[in-house]
Structure 1
Amino acid sequence: MRELVYYIAVSIDGHIAAPDGAFDRFLMEGDHAPQLTEEFADAIPGVLLDAMGVRAPLTRFDTVIMGWDTYTLDPSNPNPYPHLRQIVASSREREVHEGIEVTSDPVARVRESKAEDGAGIYLCGGGGLAGTLIEEIDRLVLKRNPLAFGDGTPLFGHAPYRPVRFDPVGVRVFGSGVVVEEYVRAPEEAA
């Protein structure tokens, strides 16, 4: 069965974006960047892959799910992950680039995707969608940046209180100050 992986940059106080949705304060350069770029190339938008002259290996992910705000982050790029099957979660009917799927039921859609053969499913964002999907997330890969935002978009949006346990399986500390924390859903939490 495929995993739903929430791979995301986060501040030390648990925010994935500033109050206005910006995420440009996260460290893009440093000793963490080359390793994560190689390890998670499938999670890099197509425009950046092209600029770097890199091809996504499609070994880690072959599908991405994202919320509407994440999908429309760059209006000039209506096809952000052309190398992946793209699913956009929205409560309303929306127009998207040809070949991109819109779902109003991301939980059911993720469950269907997890039952299919293939590589992992990349949960790209945002926090509200992650909160909706928290019980479907199998793995968290948090790129914890050495910044405190104070306010902004929480890692799991404003999901209702329901503790879900994840067990730590790895921590990597980089000279840049970025700490990559990896967790898997605790066995008793698995659906």
Structure 2
Amino acid sequence: MVSSTYGRIDDPAVELVDADPVGLVQRLKKEAGLDIWLCGGGNLAAQLLGEIDEMIIKSHPVVAGGGISAFAGAFRPTLFTPTARKEFGNGAQVTWFTRA
């Protein structure tokens, strides 16, 4: 778990990382195992943008207000190509993108 606000986590199965998430992801990518799944705020996503190989974006046909930016911080255009899309009866969509 990456967090700059948690002091500690009382679960031996959870590693708390409070600095250098890029280094963590680079280390994990070198290890054998499953994919790395990022669910979090725009600050973390922006820090890890250079390490993201695939994005799965869920969208809903609702305007709900300001919300949290998907990628916060400096403007860094990064090209991804849509590879699949699933649409649901309520107008929601899930789109898969891979780094171009």
Normalising by structure 2, what TM-score? 0.88
Structure possessing the higher relative contact order (Cα contacts under 8 Å, 6 or more residues apart): 1
Structure 2 partner of 1:94: 7
Change (3 A) 1:162 1:119: same
What pairs with 1:103-122 in structure 2 (closer than 5 Å)? 103=17, 104-122=19-37
Question: Do the aligned partners of 1:89 and 1:105 also contact (CA within 8 Å) in 2?
Answer: no
What pairs with 1:1-150 in structure 2 (closer than 5 Å)? 88-91=1-4, 94-99=7-12, 100-103=14-17, 104-150=19-65
2:85 aligned with 1:171, yes or no?
yes
- The 4+ residue runs of structure 1 with deviation greater than 4 A are none
Q: Please, which runs of 5 or more residues in structure 1 have no aligned partner? A: 1-87, 187-191
* CA distance in structure 1 between the aligned counterparts of 2:61 and 2:25, rounded to whole angstroms: 32
Identity of aligned residues (%): 38
Considering fraction of residues, name the structure with more helix: 1
- The number of aligned residues is 98
Normalising by structure 1, what TM-score? 0.48
Considering fraction of residues, name the structure with more strand: 1
